[in-house]
Structure 1
Amino acid sequence: MKTTIEQLNSFIRSAEGENLEFKQAKMQFDSEKLTRYCVALANEGGGKLILGVTDYPPRRVVGTSAFTNIDKTKSQLLDRLHLRIDMEEVWHSDGRVVVVHVPSRRIGRPIEYRGAYWMRSGEALVPMTPDKLHQIFAEAESDFSAQICDKANFDDLDAHAIEIFRKKWVSRTGNNHIEKLSAKQLLEDAELIIDSSITYAALILFGTRKALGRHIAQAEVIFEYRSTETSLPFQQRKEYREGFFLYYDDLWNTINLRNDLYQYQDGLFMISIPSFNEAVIREAILNAVSHRDYRFAGSVFIKQYPLKIEFISPGGFPPGITQENILWKQYPRNRRIAEAFAKCGLVERSGQGANRMFEQCARESKIPPDFSWTDDYQVFLTLNGKVQDPHFLRFLEKIGRERQVSFDSTDFIILDLINREQKLPQWAKDRALALVKSSAIERVARKYILSRKFYEFTDKKGVYTRKRGLDRETNKQLLLKHIRANEKAGSRFRELREVLPSLTRDQVQKLLAEMKIQKMIIVVGKTSAASWYPPGSGKRKNV
């Protein structure tokens, strides 16, 4: 596991979080503390501890003398934790750096050391809370939806719901043999009935209202509509306590009744975009049913407003899923339900549901799905229906046609973030470079902007100039203006960086070096004591 200088620099620029921990450790680092940090990182899903880098941003390499015998330290960690932890030395120009690669704990198995299951809390290491431990132990529990409901029988299932499932399964596979199966055999083949016993998945998908009330009343979806966000009473409420296949279409139709259209002109044509995209809404419903925690007593709530809709389902994210990795990581909490959905084509086994939601929102220039209100006890998804910039998709299609480039889900998400001037997450950095090559975006200092073509396409050339920033010669004139205004006292480097805050330290230094060669300025002093003056100021320049 070799870390390059480029990767190390990328880590240093990243925000410290669940997967990264930096310690200065210039002279030494306590081996007990190292062990506890490894435990904490493993308990949080794995990560890296980097020694020889300052703790706080802006971070820089200071070098470390800790753990000069890497192999011995690795052996000690293996003896203490029975976890294979890799360590390596990276020789940076500013000193030796030690990178500790910590793997994740096993599913449902937190790691204990010296009587505690360690986790990080800010700058401190603390024992895990009971709630966090319970969440980890719950990962190893069996699929609830595959469990048998002992008191249920086949008469608790609705025949019409089963036939809907059958038709969808035949439609997806083209296997006409499925049409000839008895209802019981059909569900046996789908593993929704096991040895003539009814699973909870079968009840959730096909159960009658009476059966759900008797066996699993929490398998209920409640829909409410309010005309304003401040309205306490609802204008409509529907309670769906029956098998999923009995209400899935009706629930969408109910939402679609108040699905306003946003219209905009595209040349000679009028384009309409609904506030709530059907594919996105249906995906959110499927997720709420298949990923909720049925051990919690609450119902799933869907709350619709004119310009947004909220999905609140009991239980936090499934184990290992976070807001940060939801785009590419999957863990079906109720696998038997998810497999039934996959059989009839409602979801993909590849787990691309979240990707499709984010991509479609980006395609329609809507704010991405928002999970920020999610906690350990509920998943809270907000979908916003307002179209932000209808010209955005037209530009992407134009670039794709001209360059013969197709954009995938990740590209749409990155482009949307740049269009809304949001910071790119670490996972997006490499892909952003490819988008620069395709002329979809441009890099300006430390940030990305949409390319000149977008602003020409939307007749907003002035906005492009503002976002692109000043050209090189104009930047020099700004620096010179400040230096002349402070001719007597001189200008320190810190002040000159404030003149051009969007440029990096190196970029400002290069401009000053060019200006010195061009005899536009002189410099007196060296390093941090240096000051810049205009020529003819009477100051003696460095030789």
Structure 2
Amino acid sequence: MSPEQPLWQEILGGESKTLELKGQLPKGNQLAKTLIAFANSSGGKLVLGVNDQRQIAGVQTDEFELMDQIASIAHDQCHPSLMPTIYLETLQGKTLVVIQVYRGSQLPYHLRAKGRDAGTYIRLGATNRQASLEMIHELERQRLHQSFDEQTAWDASLQTLELAPLQRAFEQAGKPLSTARMRSLKLIRTEQGQDYPSHGLMILLGQYEQVEIKCSRFKGTNMTVFLDKKEYRGDLFSQLEGSEAFIKNHLHLKAEIHGLQRTETYEIPIPAIREALVNAVVHRDYSNAGRDIKVGIYDDIVNIVSPGGLPNGLTLGDALAGRSEIRNKVIARVFRELGYIEQWGSGMARIRDLCQQAGSDAPTFAETGDFFDIEFHRTEAAATGGSIGGEIGGEIGGEKVVQAKLTHRQQAVLALIEQNPRMTHQEMAAQLGINASALQKHLNKLKAAGAIERIGGTRGYWKVNV
């Protein structure tokens, strides 16, 4: 066996958004769930004959009967029916069955027995997740090649909207905002002879609760203690300005003298920060209320997290290679018109190039569950570094400070609760890949630290205090 064999390299990398490994054929409807999740997401491969330690064990039953069984499951249990590519591959002298599923065109795919609302699954990281109703609607829009921000905001009145921030942005770009331009950009939709704003216009003006950027400066290298916090609402342009100013306020300046000239530069190039903020605003998922963009500044990194992950089946490798998929077509057109975007698909490459030109470390890009992360590595750690342990209490800048050292797992639990305060124990445990008792220990630790509290009983929700 050649160590360069592509499938072997994929197996060594472990399970991912596009790869699942099983020792034998999954029982019940688990195989159908995986095939559906791949078809609704970025496609992928399910490899049978690899154990939990990524060792090649081979399939233990008749390969051809197994392939027929898989084809029947894909046809009978999935709706619309799937036709995956099923083939055999030999590694280390043992036979594997590979099931290749491509992203489908008849979205959303679901379990025939459960129906669309309860039987639709998507791939998040290396797990299959039941799709929320918002995600199902997004998959339907993708099938129709529509975006949420292009659709009509039926409950809004165009006459009562304050358009001044948008008009100002266009005037600064030397492009007056006429009614005709607003129609061509799909900011205005005419339905049954009456003009309505699109969701895109409402988002640009900051009219929805989820249109927000939350910025925090934490002490040390985790979310245990925060030193400063700001929440920016209103139109997207003022949010970008406020967020950039917040980040600048918490970065170090370094001074260099060339001849008689003294120049000061930030430890992370501001154009790269600005590009990352624009990317987050343009490409995030606005269809799901209750989620926002978060900027976290730590002693070692600046982290920008936007909800929604990569759009329309895009993988991280695709995005880094320059492939572009636009989730928010109206917002993207406006930002392109105003010069915030130079060319489609260039954002990540531009961020990397700007950091390289400034002599900064390359940023880290990651898709974590249903979020997209950009981490800028700070060149000068703050003098206060480290995490804080001890008692709960105190205030900094008028805000409550929780002083307790949290593990990475507890931080992950906290992030899930922030994403969905009503998420059940079972859902959290499944997403984290741990059992219920281990999850309960993490929740108890977070409650003891004052990081979270339970509001209501079994039908209540979690409140985050940090």
TM-score, length of structure 2 as denominator length = 0.58
Task: Classify 1:101/1:310 alpha carbon distance in 2 versus 1 (closer, same or farther; 3 Å).
Answer: closer
- Alpha-carbon contact 1:54-1:60 (below 8 Å) kept: yes
Within 5 Å, which residues of 2 pair with 1:27-426? 38-39=35-36, 41-42=38-39, 45-51=42-48, 53-57=49-53, 59-60=55-56, 62=58, 66-68=62-64, 76=72, 79-80=75-76, 81=78, 82-90=81-89, 94-106=93-105, 108-115=107-114, 117=119, 130=130, 135-141=135-141, 143-149=147-153, 150-153=155-158, 156-159=161-164, 161-168=166-173, 179=175, 183-195=178-190, 196-205=195-204, 207=205, 215-223=207-215, 232=226, 234=228, 237=230, 240-246=232-238, 248-249=240-241, 251-253=243-245, 255-262=247-254, 274-290=266-282, 291-293=284-286, 295-297=288-290, 300-304=293-297, 308-313=301-306, 318=311, 320=313, 327-328=320-321, 330-361=324-355, 364-366=359-361, 368-369=363-364, 376=370, 381-386=374-379
Distance 1:29 1:192 in 2: 48
Q: Is the 8 A contact 1:300 1:313 kept in 2?
A: yes
Partner of 1:17: 16
Cα distance in 1 for partners of 2:263, 2:21 equals 51
- Say if 1:197 and 1:106 are closer, same or farther in 2 by CA, change over 3 A: same
How is 1:462-473 mapped onto 2 (pairs within 5 angstroms)? none
Q: How far apart are the structure 2 equivalents of 1:113 and 1:7?
A: 34
Distance in 1 of aligned mates of 2:148 and 2:122: 31
Which amino acid is the alignment partner of residue 170 of structure 2? F
Structure with max Cα Rg? 1
- How far apart in 2 are the matches of 1:95 and 1:200? 54
Residues 332 and 338, structure 1, Cα contact 8 Å, conserved in 2: yes
CA apart distance, 1:315 = 5.5
Is 2:36–2:121's contact at 8 Å kept on the other side of the alignment?
A: yes
The CA deviation at 1:339 is: 1.8
Q: Which has the higher strand share?
A: 2
Distance across 2 between alignment mates of 1:264 and 1:355: 27
Secondary structure, in 3 states, of the residue corresponding to 1:139? helix
User: What amino acid is aligned across from residue 347 of structure 1 in structure 2?
Assistant: I
Which runs of 5 or more structure 2 residues have no equivalent in the other structure? Answer: 382-466
Q: Give, as a single letter, the amino acid of the residue that structure 2 aligns with 1:385.
A: R
Structure 2 CA distance for aligned equivalents of residues 310 and 270 of structure 1: 30
Mark the CA change 1:182 to 1:44 in structure 2 (over 3 Å): closer, same or farther. Answer: closer
Map of 1:447-466 to 2, 5 A cutoff? none
Please name the residue that 1:8 is paired with. 7
Alpha-carbon distance in structure 2 between the residues aligned to 1:40 and 1:258 = 41
Cα RMSD (Å) = 4.8
Give the distance between the partners of 1:242 and 1:31, measured in 2 at CA. Answer: 49
Following TM superposition, by how much is the alpha carbon of 1:311 offset from its aligned partner in structure 2, in angstroms? Answer: 3.5
Equivalent residue letter for 2:302: I
> Relative contact order (C-alpha < 8 Å, sep 6+): which is higher?
2
CA contact (8 A) 1:361 1:369 kept: no
Whole-angstrom CA distance in 2 between matches of 1:184 and 1:202:
13
Provide the TM-score with structure 1 as the length reference.
Answer: 0.51
1:119–1:272 Cα change, 3 Å: same
1:337 to partner: Cα distance: 0.7
Report deviation, 1:112. Answer: 0.8
Superposition deviation, residue 302 in structure 1: 3.8
Aligned-pair CA distance for 1:98: 3.2
After superposition, what is the alpha-carbon deviation per residue over 1:211-253, rounded to whole angstroms, capped at 9, x for unaligned? x5xx53543445555787765453x74x544323355446534
**Structure 2: distance between partners of 1:37 and 1:240:** 39
The C-alpha deviation readout for 1:80-113, integer Å capped at 9, x for no partner, is: 2421111223355724443322223457513315
SS at match of 1:90: strand
**Whole-Å Cα distance in 1 between the matches of residues 215 and 189 of structure 2?**
32
User: 2:202, 2:215 → 1: CA distance?
Assistant: 20
Query: Can you list the C-alpha shifts for 1:478-509, whole angstroms capped at 9, x where unaligned?
Result: xxxxxxxxxxxxxxxxxxxxxxxxxxxxxxxx
In structure 2, how many angstroms separate the alpha carbons of the residues matched to 1:375 and 1:249? 28
SS at match of 1:276: coil
Provide Cα deviations, 1:293-336, integer angstroms capped at 9, x if missing partner. Answer: 25414654545467643445556665646767653565444321
Contact 2:45 2:98 (C-alpha < 8 Å) held by counterparts: yes
Measured in 1, the distance between the counterparts of 2:7 and 2:185 equals: 49
Structure in which a larger fraction of residues adopt helix: 1
Distance in 2, Cα, partners of 1:264 & 1:90: 59
Instruction: Give the distance between the partners of 1:130 and 1:93, measured in 2 at CA.
Output: 36
In structure 2, C-alpha distance between the alignment counterparts of 1:200 and 1:187, rounded to whole Å? 13
Q: 1:161–1:246: 8 Å Cα contact kept in structure 2?
A: no
Which ranges of structure 1 fall in alignment gaps of 5 or more residues?
171-178, 389-543
Instruction: Give distance in 1, aligned partners of 2:318 and 2:272.
Output: 19
Pairing 1:426-441 to 2, within 5 Å after superposition: none
Q: Secondary structure at the match of 1:55?
A: coil
Distance (Å, rounded) in 2 between the aligned partners of 1:193 and 1:32: 45
> What is the identity, as a one-letter code, of the residue corresponding to 1:260?
H
CA deviation after TM superposition for structure 1 residue 57, in Å? 3.5
1:216 corresponds to which letter in structure 2? Y
Is the 1:275–1:307 Cα contact (8 Å) retained in structure 2? no
Q: Give the total of aligned pairs.
A: 356
- The answer to whether the 8 Å contact 2:304/2:375 transfers is yes
Query: What is the distance in 1 between the residues matched to 2:378 and 2:246?
Result: 16
Q: Deviations over 1:33-58 (max 9, x none)?
A: 7666544654564322334x442445
Alpha-carbon distance in 2 for matches of 1:362, 1:184:
42
Q: 1:37 to 1:386 in 2, by over 3 A?
A: same
